[in-house]
A and B are shown apart, each in its own frame.
Chain A
Amino acid sequence: MSRLRDAFLDGLWRENPVFWQVLGICSALAVTTRVENALYMGAAVTVVAMGSNMMVSLLRRFIPRDVRLMVEMVIIAGFVALFDLYLKAFSYPMSQQLGPYVGLIVTNCIILGRTEAFALKNGVMESVADGLGNGLGYSAVLVVIAVIREVGGSGTFLGHQVLPAGAQPMRVLVAAPGAFIIMSLLAWAFQYMKEGRRV
């Protein structure tokens, strides 16, 4: 049981993929203009990470070493296509909002990285826990960025007005430069925490 918990907590915080390893930040920047988008994207990555970790772990004794990257990519692409179809069927407006960024989960290095580094060497349950932890860790970072950008840039939270009507939202936070700058400040805070007080 503690191995499952370790696999889960490592992904969620102790080795959070976005901050400690700077992986998968393309979508972390692209979809975080609204909190709702970030929640959907986080859910997508969590589901795909769990599913592909499970499949790769189940097949780990049968995948030939030389073509394992191809096999992993195809498994991941399969799960992403499933989620994409699910979004198109049950929440079409969100599918339009996220556009190609759902498809781009295929090349999200977090998922390929976890299948390669974890699922190929560990049992099924641990791999699913690892996928869940990493997916939720990624979602948490996405939501933090999205809250800053949506509240600061549009004055809303999940679509509800939260800033007083007279306040002028900072539009730049929603635009591309704002995304990079917010991410930069968060990465700075994280590196500071990582280095302790040695700075």
Chain B
Amino acid sequence: MSELLGIILAGVLTHNILLTGFLGMCSFIAISRDLRASLGLGLAVTFVATFTAGLNALIYNYFLAPGAMVWLLGDSARSIDLSFVSLIVFIAVIAGFVQVVEMVIQRWFPLLHGVLGIFLPLITVNCAILGVSLFMVIKGLTPFRATVYGFASGAGWALAIILMAAMRRRLDTSAMPRAFAGVPVTLLLTGLLAAAFSAFAGMEF
């Protein structure tokens, strides 16, 4: 139990995927202009990261990892190593999952589709989602832990974009050089936010 808590706290605070891993910056900068949209995108990223991390971990651990297919083909499969296709499989799973989710919520959950609908196509090319799956392989997580890790990373990303959107509201009324407005000031604030978050780094779980 405490180990799972550790994964969650690391994903949200100490190893925040945006502030320490620099992932998902493109949509972070573009969308954090708008607080409501940031909430929607944060939710969508958390949702997709949770499920794609779990799915990809299942596929990796039972099919792609070196010797993973022993359960299916017996001892002769011990030398089969399909990990070189994992990148292509992961991106296909993510794109496919996003497509399916979009169809399902459009059909059965119109309210949710109203909130998340326009963000889902953006998610396929959000590198935070693919990053979660790739880091999960490096960390060697089981499917259950990978799901928790995906949730924590998504939640950390959502926390960062919501904080940034809240800060950018103040910027609208602040005076600053024209050339500094927009992207540069957002990056500078992200730097300060990253510095603030690095204060969590000493915590051990």
B and A form one assembly? yes
Please measure, in the bound complex, the distance between the C-alpha atom of A187 and the C-alpha atom of B85, giving whole angstroms: 37
B195 at the A interface (CB under 8 A): yes
Please measure, in the bound complex, the distance between the C-alpha atom of A30 and the C-alpha atom of B125, giving whole angstroms: 17
Decide: A81 and B88 in contact? CB cutoff 8 A.
yes
**Chain B residues whose C-beta falls within 8 Å of the C-beta of A187 in the assembled complex:** 183-184, 187
Please measure, in the bound complex, the distance between the C-alpha atom of A180 and the C-alpha atom of B183, giving whole angstroms: 11
Q: Which of A2-10, A104-112, A132-140, A147-155 contacts B (4 or more CB under 8 A)?
A: A104-112
**Chain B residues whose C-beta falls within 8 Å of the C-beta of A77 in the assembled complex:** 87-88, 91
**Chain A residues whose C-beta falls within 8 Å of the C-beta of B22 in the assembled complex:** 25-27, 29-30, 176, 179
B92 at the A interface (CB under 8 A): yes
Decide: A108 and B127 in contact? CB cutoff 8 A.
yes
A123 at the B interface (CB under 8 A): no
A64 at the B interface (CB under 8 A): no
Per-position contact with B for A41-85: 1 when CB-CB < 8 Å, else 0?
A: 000000000000000000000000000011001100110110011
Decide: B91 and A184 in contact? CB cutoff 8 A.
no
Report the nearest A residue to B134, measured CB to CB.
A100
Decide: B88 and A177 in contact? CB cutoff 8 A.
no
Residue among A23, A26, A73, A77 having the largest count of chain B Cβ atoms under 10 Å: A26
Q: How far does the Cβ of A21 sit from chain B's closest Cβ, in whole Å?
A: 10
Decide: A30 and B21 in contact? CB cutoff 8 A.
yes
Decide: B178 and A177 in contact? CB cutoff 8 A.
no
Q: How far does the Cβ of A138 sit from chain B's closest Cβ, in whole Å?
A: 14
Known: A85-B84, A107-B125, A187-B183. Contact between A177 and B130, CB under 8 A? no
Decide: B130 and A104 in contact? CB cutoff 8 A.
yes
B126 at the A interface (CB under 8 A): yes
Count chain A residues whose beta carbon lies closer than 8 angstroms to a beta carbon of B: 46
B154 at the A interface (CB under 8 A): no
Report the nearest B residue to A106, measured CB to CB.
B91
Count chain B residues whose beta carbon lies closer than 8 angstroms to a beta carbon of A: 43
B166 at the A interface (CB under 8 A): no
B180 at the A interface (CB under 8 A): yes
Q: How far does the Cβ of B106 sit from chain A's closest Cβ, in whole Å?
A: 16
**Chain A residues whose C-beta falls within 8 Å of the C-beta of B130 in the assembled complex:** 103-104, 106-107
Residue among B131, B187, B194 having the largest count of chain A Cβ atoms under 10 Å: B187
Decide: B26 and A104 in contact? CB cutoff 8 A.
no
**Chain B residues whose C-beta falls within 8 Å of the C-beta of A26 in the assembled complex:** 22-26, 127
Decide: B134 and A103 in contact? CB cutoff 8 A.
yes
Q: How far does the Cβ of A141 sit from chain B's closest Cβ, in whole Å?
A: 14
**Chain A residues whose C-beta falls within 8 Å of the C-beta of B87 in the assembled complex:** 77, 80-81, 84, 103, 106
Per-position contact with B for A162-199: 1 when CB-CB < 8 Å, else 0?
A: 00000000001001111111011101100110110011
Known: A81-B88, A181-B187, A192-B179. 17 other contacts (CB 8 A): A25-B22, A27-B22, A29-B22, A29-B25, A30-B22, A74-B92, A85-B84, A99-B138, A104-B130, A107-B126, A176-B22, A176-B198, A180-B191, A184-B185, A184-B187, A185-B184, A191-B180
- Residues of chain B touching chain A, judged by Cβ–Cβ distance below 8 Å, are 19-26, 29, 84-85, 87-88, 91-92, 95, 124-127, 129-131, 134-135, 138, 177-180, 182-188, 190-192, 194-195, 198
**10 A-B pairs with least C-beta separation:** A180-B191, A184-B187, A100-B134, A188-B184, A177-B195, A107-B127, A192-B179, A184-B188, A181-B191, A191-B179
